């Protein structure tokens, strides 16, 4: 995988990510850790779309771009008035900017906020209009394309560790030697489990007709995401595994 300075795809969202990554890395802002990883995964997903790896590439393209918009909308809110941004993003950004934590923690805090919170809302938004009339076969197709992203993430993880985590965490190289690939145990496990749960959460929201019930479910979702975030920030790995 090429460095953040040379993204492999000319899509505007990659250019926007690259702009922030370069700015943050130059300033020593550790928010670049998550965004550089996210950019790598975005590039690989766009490449897979171009290669027709999905059953419905245009839908996956819409999902990818709307998902990215959620990230930048939360970032804009944080930069404008931090207190009005989603709580999980407040914690992720504040930790990366003001605390001396592991690169792995900064990465997982961003992944938690973006997948466990933003992705639920993105899926609900994009599927809501058609979901009631969508056939079981069409729903299965959507889910199949969604799951294929897991394979793209999995083949990106090694590059994430080698290019992003290992330079800041030499200990991870030792752990890899002694215990096998640390990313496979932690990063891959968390992301895959979280994405599986996200689809289920989105489906529940899609099948909820009451606005009051939906609001209640979103409050519970936010609390769950914050519980995970606090476990990451405190390095409570056993709790994190239980929550995942």
Cα dist from 126 to 20, 55, 60, 116, 119, whole Å: 26, 17, 10, 16, 11
68-82 pLDDT, tens per residue?
A: 999 999 999 999 999
CA geometry: angle 97, 88, 11, nearest 5 deg: 75
Tokens representing 240 are 């994190």
User: Is it the case that residue 160 has pLDDT exceeding 90?
Assistant: no
Tokens representing 219 are 């409050």
Q: What is the mean pLDDT of residues 162-189?
A: 55
70-113 pLDDT, tens per residue?
A: 999 999 999 999 999 999 999 999 999 999 998 989 999 999 99
| Residues of the chain above pLDDT 90, percent | 73
Tokens representing 109 are 């805090």
User: Is it the case that residue 161 has pLDDT exceeding 80?
Assistant: no
User: Is it the case that residue 174 has pLDDT exceeding 60?
Assistant: no
203-240 pLDDT, tens per residue?
A: 999 999 899 999 999 999 999 999 999 999 998 877 87
DSSP collapsed to 3 states, 148-212: HHHHHHHHHHHHHHHHHHHHHCHHHHHHHHHHCCHHHHCHHHHHHHHHHHHHHHHHHHHCCCCHH
User: Is it the case that residue 169 has pLDDT exceeding 60?
Assistant: no
The radius of gyration of the chain's CA atoms, rounded to the nearest angstrom, is 18
Q: Note whether 64 and 46 are within 8 A (CB).
A: yes
| Residues of the chain above pLDDT 70, percent | 86
CA distance 77 to 116: 18
Tokens representing 81 are 């008035």
Q: What's the pTM? A: 0.89
Selection from 60, 16, 61, 10 nearest residue 38 by Cα: 16
């Amino acid at each position: 995988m090429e460095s953040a300075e040379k993204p492999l795809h000319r899509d505007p969202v990659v250019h926007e990510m690259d702009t922030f990554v370069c700015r943050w890395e130059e300033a020593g802002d550790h928010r670049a850790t998550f965004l550089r990883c996210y950019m790598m995964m975005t590039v690989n997903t766009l490449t897979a779309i171009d290669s027709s790896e999905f059953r419905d590439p245009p839908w996956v393209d819409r999902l990818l771009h709307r998902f990215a918009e959620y990230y930048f909308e939360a970032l804009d809110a944080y930069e404008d008035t931090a207190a009005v941004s989603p709580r999980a993003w407040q914690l992720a950004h504040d930790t990366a900017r003001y605390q001396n934590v592991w690169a792995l923690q900064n990465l997982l805090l961003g992944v938690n906020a973006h997948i466990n919170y933003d992705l639920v809302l993105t899926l609900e938004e994009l599927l809501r209009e058609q979901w009631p009339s969508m056939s079981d076969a069409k729903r299965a197709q959507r889910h199949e394309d969604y799951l294929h992203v897991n394979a793209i993430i999995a083949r990106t993880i090694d590059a994430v560790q080698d290019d992003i985590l290992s330079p800041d965490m030499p200990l991870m190289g030792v752990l890899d030697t002694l215990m096998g690939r640390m990313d496979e145990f932690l990063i891959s496990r968390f992301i895959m489990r979280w994405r599986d749960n996200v689809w289920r959460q989105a489906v529940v929201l899609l099948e909820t007709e009451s606005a009051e019930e939906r609001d209640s479910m979103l409050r519970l979702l936010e609390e769950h995401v914050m519980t995970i975030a606090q476990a990451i920030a405190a390095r409570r790995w056993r709790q994190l595994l239980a929550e995942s």
